[in-house]
């Protein structure tokens, strides 16, 4: 995607931050994102949104507003435009946080500290109580439910429905369904209540800078496209699942930073919720074509088959 400076100038003129001097593509997102360097010596970020997704700038802005009373360095939304009149796509203009993506620092001598800080950040997010469980919309929680069990039941039915629709083996699905139903009550009945769940916290969605001693300091949290109001352990399981994929070996450090898990059977709960996250990730990658067919080799499906064949839970 190429952007014209004149058109971007038009798009941001109401911010009164000066004209665009330079446009730099940023890596890491599924949709194009750019840093705009302005004549006022201020930099902002332009994030685009595709027409065929449920991620919208208004939804992400609502999620980010949950942090107004919390000392967490997060994206602040300065301008939202969903008209496609100025630019040919929906977009948001946000502040430009310092640092680089944690995923680019895997070989840094202090990377374990950044993973621990990520766990601590997640604990801070989970201290933000929400009034109900459900997905964020532009104006609040969509179709909210009052219990974790009801929320997870909704996740289960959607996950298994899409799992089948994208061609998953019926025998694998049946074995996984049996496991999910067997442990449903013991896992989902325990919850501290609905909290802010980022639902995509992993090294590529945190930023870090080096301090004067060369140690890593977490400097930002980005990408609220998946954020929702959910159970803390459900969200922790998603963080560990995604982070371990991007940064093998990060799990013990994230857990050390997170602290005590609020569940009477934490290992069982993490294992249980990870099954659902893995199923959702598989059908999503089928949907976007990363996994071309239901029979294509996939570590995700291999792990799900192993889980279905196992006779013991943690």
Could you read off the pLDDT of 121-177 as tens digits, one per residue?
999 999 999 999 999 988 899 999 999 999 999 999 999 999 999 999 999 999 999
pLDDT (mean) for 187-194: 97
Give CA–CA dist 32/225, Å, rounded.
Answer: 14
Q: What are phi and psi of 287, to 5 degrees?
A: -60, -45
pLDDT (mean) for 36-58: 88
Give CA–CA dist 79/11, Å, rounded.
Answer: 9
According to DSSP, the residues that pair with 90 across neighbouring strands are 49
The share of the chain scoring above pLDDT 70, in percent, equals: 98
- C-alpha distances (whole Å) from 307 to each of 276, 289, 304 are 11, 24, 5
Non-local (6+) Cβ contacts of 210 within 8 A are 216, 217
Contact indicator for 257, 115 with CB cutoff of 8 Å = yes
Question: Among 45-54, 177-186, 215-224, where is mean pLDDT lowest?
Answer: 45-54
184 has pLDDT over 80: yes
Domain boundaries, the chain: 5-95, 100-309
Q: Give kind and range of the element (H or E) at residue 85.
A: none
Strand order in the sheet with 195-197: 141-145, 133-136, 228-230, 195-197
Give CA–CA dist 188/42, Å, rounded.
Answer: 47
| Most confident of the following: 22-36, 40-54, 170-184 | 170-184
pLDDT (mean) for 167-190: 97
Mean pLDDT estimate for the chain: 94
Give CA–CA dist 100/162, Å, rounded.
Answer: 35
277 has pLDDT over 70: yes
The domains spanning 5-95 and 100-309 adopt the same CATH topology = no
Residue among 117, 85, 92 at smallest CA distance from 29: 92
pLDDT of residue 88: 92
pLDDT band at 28 (very low <50, low <70, confident <90, very high): low
Q: Just give the CATH number of 100-309.
A: 3.90.1200.10
pLDDT (mean) for 91-118: 95
27 has pLDDT over 80: no
The label of the residue with tokens 């941001």 reads: 12
Give CA–CA dist 311/314, Å, rounded.
Answer: 10
CATH of 5-95, one of 3.40.50.720, 3.40.50.261, 2.60.40.740, 3.30.200.20: 3.30.200.20
pLDDT band at 65 (very low <50, low <70, confident <90, very high): confident
- Measured in whole angstroms, the distance separating CA 168 from the mean position of its chain's CA atoms is 24
52 has pLDDT over 90: no
pLDDT of residue 73: 84
Residue among 198, 201, 223, 208 at smallest CA distance from 92: 223
pLDDT of residue 29: 65
pLDDT tens per residue across span 219-262: 999 888 899 999 999 999 999 999 999 999 999 999 999 999 99
Contact indicator for 201, 118 with CB cutoff of 8 Å = yes
pLDDT of residue 312: 76
């Amino acid at each position: 995607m190429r952007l014209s400076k004149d058109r971007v100038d038009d798009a941001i003129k109401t911010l009164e931050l000066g004209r665009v001097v330079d446009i730099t593509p940023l890596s890491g997102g599924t949709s194009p994102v750019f840093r705009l360097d302005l004549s006022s010596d201020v930099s902002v970020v332009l994030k685009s949104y595709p027409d065929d997704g449920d991620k919208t700038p208004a939804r992400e802005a609502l999620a980010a507003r949950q942090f107004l009373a919390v000392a967490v360095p997060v994206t602040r939304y300065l301008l939202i435009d969903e008209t496609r009149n100025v630019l040919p796509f929906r977009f948001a203009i946000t502040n430009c946080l310092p640092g680089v993506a944690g995923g680019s620092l895997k070989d840094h001598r202090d990377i374990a500290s950044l993973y621990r800080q990520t766990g601590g950040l997640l604990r801070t997010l989970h201290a933000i109580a929400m009034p109900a469980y459900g997905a964020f919309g532009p104006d609040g929680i969509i179709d909210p439910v009052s219990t974790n069990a009801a929320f997870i039941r909704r996740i289960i039915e959607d996950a298994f429905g899409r799992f089948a629709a994208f061609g998953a083996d019926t025998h694998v699905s049946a074995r996984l369904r049996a496991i999910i139903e067997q442990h449903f009550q013991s896992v989902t009945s325990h919850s501290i209540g609905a909290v802010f769940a980022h639902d995509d916290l992993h090294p590529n969605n945190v930023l870090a800078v080096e301090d004067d001693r060369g140690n890593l300091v977490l400097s930002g949290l980005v990408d609220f496209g998946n954020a929702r109001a959910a159970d803390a352990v459900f969200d922790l399981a998603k963080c560990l699942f995604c982070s371990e994929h991007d940064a093998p070996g990060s799990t013990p450090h994230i857990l050390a930073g997170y602290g005590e898990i609020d569940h009477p059977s934490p290992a069982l709960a993490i294992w249980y919720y990870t099954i659902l996250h893995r199923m959702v990730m598989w059908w999503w990658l089928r949907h976007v074509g990363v996994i071309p067919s239901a029979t294509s080799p996939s570590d995700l499906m291999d792990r799900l088959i192993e889980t279905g064949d196992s006779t013991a839970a943690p």
